[in-house]
Amino acid sequence: MSNIPTPFLCLIEDDEIMGESLLDRFELEGYRVDWHRTAQSALAAVGDKDYAAVVSDIRLPDGSGEEIFIRLLERGVSLPPFLFITGHGSIDRAVALLKLGAADYITKPFDLDRLVEKVGALCGNRVSPCEEDSCRLGISPAMRKIAQTLPRLAQHAPTLLITGESGVGKEVIAQEIHHLDPRTKDRPFVAVNCGAISESLLEAELFGHEKGAFTGAARARKGVFEQADGGTLFLDEIGDTPLLMQVKLLRAVQERRIVRVGGNAEIAVNLRLICATHRDLRKMVEDGAFREDLYYRIHVIQIKVPPLRERREDILWFAHRFLEEQAAKGERKQLSRAGEEVLLAHAWPGNIRELRHAIERASILTPGPLLEPEALFEEGEQPAPADNKELGSYLQSCEERYIRNALARNDAHLGRTAESLGISRKNLWEKMKKLGISSSKYPG
């Protein structure tokens, strides 16, 4: 996975239309953008924040980009590269700024691709592409943001809480954290669903038991805490743990020591603990159903995973990967356009797990090569896409689906997607902006 940080860009532009256009494009290219509309605001920010580059208009309502640059030079602070946007009448001023140390300028009207190239050169082209590993969680901005935090969490967080609806991929994130840490990647990853084990058996499952501890305990057995020693223990559905067990769990979490059922000796364990739940633990604490002290012990760092319906960019992306898995098993299928439309229209209450099962079922039961809507959903489940649109609206929705599909097939890489569609990257970006896809952050 790439460890390249996301470049932080300072944009100084008072024109709302121009500023919004530049903001959309740079975010689309993978930058974080801090947009300032006045010289005063920008002057304070550039001195305090760690920008990779500054893109500034020369003319501003309360001063100029030139004044910002000169005042910062006079302060003697270390400056990021400055690129100035100038009209034809201000070229001489821009050239003078280059002599003072500005990095570059571009003249209005300018080609956005050219501006992006210039800024990329100033930032050392540090925008991180969507590599296979970093996209394992999805291509949506929400999942990319989560993926970017995982390497640091893997290095520094011994206890984490992952929350989200059932089926969103909480265990996959836990496994990703485990494998990102060189200290644990070759050690055990042990997962247990606390809600799937009866209260009478849960203590022995967690902490193990000694020989003769109860009827049928013919020999001593390690619990999951000991099994995960040196690695990662994933406690799924921690919210389903009985209150009496929460007391014993608190001590194990707090001290990293356990006592086997039927034993007296304390056993030290060294592990990362990742807990997960689909429940609202804060509300459970308020209702007296979950211990407050345990809540704060496991809630040191929380990762909130959004449901699939809130990150629709991931629907077709995951669908194609599940199709690839089925193809490896000899079931080579493709989604029809109607099949893609019905997948995008569905609310997916079961999230990624439900999507996987739908693809697997359809691939096995469909004799032909194309998966149509009726194959993807059982009778009574199939969502009905709107069929009463005017022609223009219908064609636009088709174009949007087609572009989203192409993005999914190309791991959301703009360059490869544009090439596969037979259009320029600029043309692709313009279409994405028109179709409302521009708020997502796609690289390349």
Q: Which CATH number characterizes residue 410's domain?
A: 1.10.8.60
Same domain, residue pair 300 and 152: yes
DSSP one-letter string for 252-321: HHHHSEEE-BT---EEE---EEEEEESS-HHHHHHTTSS-HHHHHHH-SSEEEPPPGGG-THHHHHHHHH
Number of domains forming the structure of the chain: 3
pLDDT for the residue 50 = 87
pLDDT for the residue 312 = 84
Domain end, chosen from 287, 304, 321, is at 304
Cα 395 from chain centre: 30
Same domain, residue pair 204 and 340: no
Same domain, residue pair 157 and 271: yes
Same domain, residue pair 275 and 324: no
Q: Which CATH number characterizes residue 146's domain?
A: 3.40.50.300
What is the span of the domain harbouring residue 402?
Answer: 309-434
**Domain contains 54:** yes
**Domain contains 444:** no
> Strand pairing of 32-36 and 8-12?
parallel
pLDDT for the residue 387 = 44
**Domain contains 136:** no
Same domain, residue pair 146 and 250: yes
For 188, counting Cβ atoms within 10 Å of its Cβ (0-12 exposed, 13-18 middle, 19+ buried), the class is middle
Same domain, residue pair 274 and 248: yes
CA distance 111 to 97: 22
pLDDT for the residue 380 = 54
Same domain, residue pair 336 and 417: yes
**Domain contains 132:** no
- Which tens digits make up the pLDDT trace of 269-287? 999 999 999 999 999 999 9
Domain end, chosen from 74, 93, 122, is at 122
Same domain, residue pair 209 and 276: yes
Q: Which CATH number characterizes residue 14's domain?
A: 3.40.50.2300
Q: Are 75 and 32 in contact (CB under 8 A)?
A: no
**Domain contains 133:** no
Residue 145 burial (CB count, 10 A): 12
- Which tens digits make up the pLDDT trace of 103-122? 888 887 777 778 888 898 88
pLDDT for the residue 439 = 37
pLDDT for the residue 332 = 87
CA atoms within 13 A on the CB side of 111: 7
Residue 119 burial (CB count, 10 A): 28
Q: Lay out the sheet containing 159-163: strands in order across.
A: 189-193, 232-236, 272-277, 159-163, 302-304
Same domain, residue pair 187 and 293: yes
**Domain contains 3:** no
Same domain, residue pair 63 and 85: yes
pLDDT for the residue 132 = 42
**Domain contains 202:** yes
pLDDT for the residue 99 = 76
**Domain contains 289:** yes
Q: Are 224 and 158 in contact (CB under 8 A)?
A: no
pLDDT for the residue 36 = 95
Domain end, chosen from 276, 304, 332, is at 304
CA distance 398 to 400: 5
Same domain, residue pair 249 and 207: yes
DSSP one-letter string for 364-395: HH--SSEE-HHHHS-TTT---------HHHHH
Same domain, residue pair 355 and 279: no
Q: How is residue 209 annotated by DSSP?
A: B
CA distance 354 to 166: 10
CA distance 298 to 288: 17
**pLDDT lower than 50: segments of the chain:** 1-4, 125-134, 384-389, 439-440
